[in-house]
Amino acid sequence: MKTRNAMDKKIEILLAKYFSKTLNEVDKKAVDTWVLESDENQKIFDHYQQLWVKAEAFTYYSDSQVEEALLRTKKQMPQFSAKRRHLIWIRQVAAVIMLAIGLASVFQYFIQTDTVKRGVVLKEVVASRGSKTKLILPDGSSAQLYPGSKLIFPLAFSGENREVQLTGEGYFEVQHDAAMPFIVKTDQLNVKVLGTEFNVRAYEDEDFVETVLVNGKVALEKRENGKMVSLQTLKPNQRSVYLLSSGKLTVSDELDLHKYVDWRKGLLVFDADPMQEVVRKMENWYNIDLAVDDRLQRYKFTGVFEDEPIDEVLALMQFSSPFEFKIVKGHVDQEF
């Protein structure tokens, strides 16, 4: 027999899915029956519904995110707590529910907008510098965005393909659907999959698109004369780099993929990275600007950092390179 706390927790998760219209028919009937069981249940249902209407409801979330958000949301409601209401947000994760007050303070972490293109509602999510964002897409696939990256996708997939548009870097875990391939579109190169795990890097200011395959199989495609042309099919533990300026594609076998994908686990990884790459990673990771002496450009760095503040990371880097640094109002200067 389930305890009351266990039942309450299940109802909370079901209510979130009920209002986001992602509940199956069986569970929807269970919620309807629960509401009719007592006046107290009806009162709780009405309060959650009012909160949802006033909130920004996101269509991408996991069960664990639903549970965490709802537990925090209860504390904002008079019947659950007498605490003063304030903005709810889940750090470094796309929130499920946010009160519609003070939203501007959240936009520095992630920004979400809707647009309409050819009758299809598109959602744009930006993971601002200093904040990673995880999304659950309409088909149940997941996407994690590296700080400073952007993903555009429809509220519901339809047609022959499941298409998303990536700017920056993202890690995808795609639900298998042979009848509707999943396509990550970048400026000049598409990554087409059926069901797999992979990382795509496609920054606007870089001259390449990088794809790293963890599991499954992906096909790389580009548009030529108005048609999509297949370039290469990748196998697990392979990395491809497509040069935008020349159209050259190289594929390599990688024994260790940690350097490319462990950012999603909260690890900042350098593996003989040149200073230019180190600067890009650190600026996005810590939401800072780095001014680097040109003489440091010839150095390469190796290291793995987890939750270390920027000053500690720079101090550890000093052991391998003769430089000094200073932090001025969030701006870091590196010099000899």
pLDDT over 70, % of the chain: 69
Q: Say whether both 22 and 97 belong to one domain.
A: yes
Domain boundary pick from 205, 228, 258: 258
CB-CB neighbours of 165 under 10 Å: 16
Q: Say whether both 249 and 281 belong to one domain.
A: no
Domain boundary pick from 258, 288, 316: 258
User: Is position 152 within any domain?
Assistant: no
Q: Say whether both 89 and 9 belong to one domain.
A: yes
- pLDDT tens per residue, range 154-205: 988 988 999 999 999 999 999 999 889 999 999 889 999 977 999 999 999 8
- pLDDT tens per residue, range 116-136: 555 567 889 998 888 888 899
Q: Say whether both 234 and 141 belong to one domain.
A: yes
Q: Say whether both 139 and 252 belong to one domain.
A: yes
3-state secondary structure of 226: coil
Q: Say whether both 324 and 247 belong to one domain.
A: no
Domain boundary pick from 258, 287, 319: 258
Q: Say whether both 291 and 242 belong to one domain.
A: no
Torsion of CA 211, 215, 218, 220, to 10 degrees: 10
- Write the single-letter amino acid at 305: F
Could you write out the DSSP letters of every residue in 279-321? HHHHHHHHT-EEEE-GGGGG-EEEEEEES--HHHHHHHHTTTS
Cα separation of 179 and 161, whole Å?
8
Q: Say whether both 320 and 239 belong to one domain.
A: no
pLDDT of amino acid 117 = 52
Q: Say whether both 226 and 306 belong to one domain.
A: no
The number of domains in the chain is: 3
pLDDT value at 305 more than 90: no
Q: Say whether both 215 and 318 belong to one domain.
A: no
Residue 219: give the domain boundaries. Answer: 135-146+159-258
Q: Say whether both 300 and 235 belong to one domain.
A: no
Q: CATH number for the domain including 191?
A: 2.60.120.1440
- pLDDT tens per residue, range 207-216: 999 999 999 9
pLDDT of amino acid 238 = 96
User: Is position 124 within any domain?
Assistant: no
User: Is position 192 within any domain?
Assistant: yes
User: Is position 111 within any domain?
Assistant: no
User: Is position 24 within any domain?
Assistant: yes
Q: Say whether both 317 and 243 belong to one domain.
A: no
User: Is position 55 within any domain?
Assistant: yes
pLDDT of amino acid 91 = 23
User: Is position 181 within any domain?
Assistant: yes
User: Is position 153 within any domain?
Assistant: no
